[in-house]
Amino acid sequence: MAFFAKLQLWLFKSVERHVSDELAKIVAEYKGEKGALIPILQKVQEKFGYLPEEAISEIAKSSRISESEVFGVASFYAQFYFTRRGQHTVKVCLGTACHVRGGEKILDEIKRELNVESGGTTEDYKFSLERVACFGSCALAPVLVINKDVYGRMTVAKAKETLKEYR
């Protein structure tokens, strides 16, 4: 028992060390640059997929600003996440063009298919679902984006098919 507890602690510490090493590298890249907080947060998220709590405090320490300020900035922008994300990010566009051409129907269908609300992640961490205000591919509305692939002229049936490719 004691052995496992020790092992756990060791694993935890090594993960922590890994996070803080990676962070130090990223922060060092922006040393001396004015207004670098947002690019730092973007890089960290790119690395870990979200902003872990330890990352926020590490960034604060190494950039010499308060944790509350870092969190204040991060929570202002829709791009940043504070929880682990799914393997695939499914984004349903609900820009005006997509709205008038039935984007909401696509979103409803995907919610049912994945059994997850928008903003949520499936229990198996396979998919995260998001509604997005506009991708700028409005001429092909309604639009669905999975990871970096843009799918235009969607229908409920096509959306279901497309989703299958990522299962």
Residues that bind other proteins (CB under 8 A): 34-39, 41-42, 72-73, 76-80, 94-101, 105, 108-109, 112, 132-141, 143, 148, 150-153, 155-156
137 by DSSP, 3-state: which?
A: coil
In the complex with other proteins, the residue whose CB is nearer, 86 or 106, is: 106
For the CB of residue 104, give the shortest distance to other proteins in the complex, in Å.
Answer: 9
Tokens of 122: 């499936």
Cis geometry, peptide bond prior to residue 142 (ω within 30 degrees of 0): yes
For the CB of residue 44, give the shortest distance to other proteins in the complex, in Å.
Answer: 12
In the complex with other proteins, the residue whose CB is nearer, 8 or 155, is: 155
In the complex with other proteins, the residue whose CB is nearer, 42 or 122, is: 42
DSSP label at residue 121: B
Length of the chain: 167
88 forms bridges with which residues in the sheet?
Answer: 127
The number of C-alpha atoms within 13 Å of 132 and in the hemisphere containing its C-beta is 22
For the CB of residue 32, give the shortest distance to other proteins in the complex, in Å.
Answer: 13
